[in-house]
Copies of this chain bind each other. A is one copy, B any other.
Amino acid sequence: MILCDVGNTSYHFLDGDDSYKKDVKNFNPKSVKEKVYFISVNAAIKEVLKELGNWVDLSAFVGKDAYYPTMGVDRIFAVEAVSNGVVLDAGSAITVDVVRDGEFMGGFIYPGVRAMNESYSNISPALAYSFNFECDLDIMPKNSQDAISYGFLKTLRCEVASHNLPVILTGGDARKFKKIFKDATVDEKLIFSGMKKIIHKVDIC
């Protein structure tokens, strides 16, 4: 069974235990002859894949009523994988979604590492530091680099911790955030787990 999570920049495949990415610019989905179960936040590619008989869009099989119309399908599938927890997907944006007893409680969006870095730099060159993920967030900062690192990271950690639920980290920067959320689980295949769960639930495999 091949799974594919299509983003704005790449096709992310899971084939058995093998995970690999293909650039959306030069990958031809017709080159795959096997059946592929996919989700896509990329509207243009979703249209292309609709025309291919062996690409099955899993988004059709998830109950949308629990979510909201503009919520990205990748967030929905990550949430579907979890029964109780806070899902923090650290990419270009950081999405934080809360699931309690299998129910999606809502979620929020925070800028990702790069976006936040640019944000501080644009305010003033005096704030153009990279973030210190080793910063001790339990004491108030007394230097500029820690002052912006704490501003970015402690505020986020404070909100996430307030839910008193296990934290699951996914997305490209998951391992960086593991330094901040020390008790969290890193699961880079969380979206694929959600996809598998839906496949088994609706028995389309």
Interface, chain A (partner B; CB < 8 A): 67-68, 70-71, 92-94, 96, 98, 105-112, 115-116, 118-120, 122-124, 126-127, 139-144, 146-148, 150-152, 154-156, 158-159, 162
Contacts and interface: CB of A to CB of B under 8 A. Distances in A.
Nearest to A75: B147
Given A119-B116, A119-B119, A127 B141 contact: no
19 contacts: A70-B144, A92-B124, A93-B120, A93-B123, A108-B150, A108-B154, A109-B127, A110-B151, A110-B152, A111-B116, A111-B119, A111-B151, A115-B119, A115-B120, A115-B122, A119-B119, A155-B158, A155-B159, A158-B158
Given A70-B126, A92-B124, A106-B140, 5 more contacts: A105-B140, A109-B148, A115-B119, A115-B123, A158-B159
